[in-house]
Amino acid sequence: MTRTTEIAREAEGRAAVSANVGLDLAKIAKERGIKYFLISYVDLFGGLRAKLVPAAAIGPMQKEGAGFAGFATWLDMSPADPDLFAVPDPSSLIQLPWKEEIGWLAADLYMAGEEVAQAPRTVLKKQLAAAAALGYEVKTGVECEYFLITPDGKSISDTSDTAEKPCYDQSALMRRYDVIKDICDAMLKLGWGAYQNDHEDANGQFEMNWNYDNALLTADRHVFFKYMVKSIAEQHGLRATFMPKPFINLTGSGCHAHVSLWSKGKNAFSDPKGELGVSQLGYNFIGGLIHNADALCAITNPTVNSYKRINAPRTISGATWAPNTVTYTGNNRTHMIRIPDAGRFEFRLADGAANPYLLQAGLTAAGLDGIENQRDPGKRLDINMYTDGHKVKGAKRLPLNMLDALRALEKSRVLGERLGQPFVSGYLKLKHEEWNAYSRHLTQWERDNTLDI
């Protein structure tokens, strides 16, 4: 095959994706006054990558994609690989509320005319297609906690935010009103259905909530939300971080996910006759999460720092608000999975470092495994796991560190098959390299405790 034919086939494959969407970005740019587009994708480590494309050039880019060198980002590729093309999904377009001349686009990755199987958005779309094949739509919402800190990252930005129990502190919330308002105004303008903002359990920590929706749309919005929060914080001379545990004595930042399955416009997890108003299908889905939790942890808690949140000692507020055991319950926040009301559940394990697409993909893959294999989640525990968890026999503990989680994912036949080996093998390879880099790092703790042995 000649290089000309190869290029033609690559363009044909990428154009087919854009053609299915039916939205003309060049036309939209003229109508909305967009001068530039950010064509973006998220790599395996959750890094947001982009090229800034002038509106005058968006026509060819919509069909052929923006070119990248995959090895230059956190993807399992080499410098010898062909160009990576990020083909924008026009339906994902978000006009930056604080700079409306720029339009942001989520993109799908292609190489040599084929979808890149390890690309996080592709991994999620595969899982949603698997759910659709069973007749279900996955709907989710996320609660993204973050800290507003000083630009150097050394401390929280509000020196007056010192309460022992700062959660919902009105004064601390209002001292950051200008930042919170700008972010919430942006979400309202975008039509996300933002409905509340609060100061969270740690000093300097906040959370903002918007409506749940289709899992792909939620993931796209999650990606943009993190970018938006960081950008607006910078405009106010601050820094925002979604790091799971930036301060050892403060509560870490979780990313709780609320999940339900829908079929023919009805909530398939809802059953008035079911326990706590949840259907057998819902409990099977929870059973899949229970069964796969240790391996799933490598995805929902993807960094070395993640395990300082889920295996943390008591914080100054009195609780970590994070699970360390694989259990589920009713309306009780001390467990990994909480059923707050009928027809849905809250997965409380994931943290702020979770890749937005892989979070949703992992939840869907594990849940569908539960449905297809009718997995029993076991007995619901209505106890305080922080005070009485040691009395529970047989409950699995979550991994103690990132290496344990990676090893669990390596052994997981379920996630290996469902998420696909191109993704799992590439993810594990890069994450093991990250662990090894961490292991080579000499900490001050080691010097303080072993220098004179």
Query: CB–CB of 183/228 below 8 Å?
Result: yes
Query: CB–CB of 254/145 below 8 Å?
Result: yes
Q: What span, in angstroms and rounded, lies between the C-alpha atoms of 443 and 264?
A: 55
Quick one: pLDDT at residue 67? Answer: 98
Query: CB–CB of 52/81 below 8 Å?
Result: no
Q: Compute the mean pLDDT over every residue in the chain, rounded to the nearest whole number.
A: 94
Quick one: pLDDT at residue 386? Answer: 92
pLDDT(372) > 90: yes
| CA of residue 352 relative to chain centroid, distance | 7
Q: What span, in angstroms and rounded, lies between the C-alpha atoms of 405 and 395?
A: 17
Quick one: pLDDT at residue 15? Answer: 44
Segments in 325-390 forming alpha helices (H): 356-372, 385-388
Tell me the per-residue pLDDT of 332-351, one tens digit each, with 9 for 90 and over. 999 999 999 999 999 999 99
Q: Range with the lowest mean pLDDT among 139-148, 227-236, 379-388, 404-413?
A: 379-388
Contacts of 219 (CB under 8 A, 6+ apart): 121, 124, 356, 357, 359, 360
Residue 155: name the closest of 253, 252, 244, 238 by CA. 238
Quick one: pLDDT at residue 5? Answer: 34
First to last CA, the chain: 66
For the CA atoms of 304, 307, 312, 317, the dihedral, rounded to the nearest 10 degrees, stands at: 80
Other Cβ atoms within 10 Å of 122 Cβ, number: 20
Q: What span, in angstroms and rounded, lies between the C-alpha atoms of 57 and 379?
A: 58
Quick one: pLDDT at residue 7? Answer: 39
Query: CB–CB of 25/37 below 8 Å?
Result: yes
Q: What span, in angstroms and rounded, lies between the C-alpha atoms of 369 and 15?
A: 34
pLDDT(319) > 90: no
Mean pLDDT on 271-291: 98
Q: Which residue has the tokens 């943390």?
A: 312
Q: How many alpha carbons lie under 13 Å from residue 65 in its C-beta half-sphere?
A: 31
Q: What span, in angstroms and rounded, lies between the C-alpha atoms of 292 and 189?
A: 39
125 or 391, higher pLDDT = 125
Q: Identify the bridge partners of residue 205 per DSSP, sorted by sequence position.
A: 147
pLDDT more than 70, % of the chain: 95
* Global pTM value: 0.94
* CA distances to 196, 308, 312, 352 from 244, in Å: 22, 8, 11, 5
Q: What span, in angstroms and rounded, lies between the C-alpha atoms of 96 and 62?
A: 19
Q: Which residue has the tokens 């690989």?
A: 81
Contacts of 372 (CB under 8 A, 6+ apart): 134
Instruction: Give the tokens for residue 150.
Output: 């000083």
Query: CB–CB of 361/253 below 8 Å?
Result: no
pLDDT(314) > 90: no
Mean pLDDT on 7-15: 42
Residue 304: name the closest of 349, 359, 351, 347 by CA. 351
Instruction: Give the tokens for residue 414.
Output: 């379920």
Quick one: pLDDT at residue 39? Answer: 98
Query: CB–CB of 384/330 below 8 Å?
Result: no
Instruction: Give the tokens for residue 385.
Output: 């796991």
pLDDT more than 90, % of the chain: 91
User: What is the DSSP code (8-state) at residue 313?
Assistant: P
Query: CB–CB of 324/396 below 8 Å?
Result: no
pLDDT category at 317 given cuts 50, 70, 90 is confident
* CA distances to 153, 373, 434 from 123, in Å: 33, 21, 21
Residue 142: name the closest of 228, 41, 220 by CA. 220
Mean pLDDT on 187-212: 98
* CA distances to 98, 117, 302, 332, 442 from 216, in Å: 24, 16, 20, 28, 40
Quick one: pLDDT at residue 13? Answer: 44
pLDDT category at 4 given cuts 50, 70, 90 is very low
Q: What span, in angstroms and rounded, lies between the C-alpha atoms of 299 and 353?
A: 10
DSSP symbols for 115-135 = E-TT-HHHHHHHHHHHHHHTT
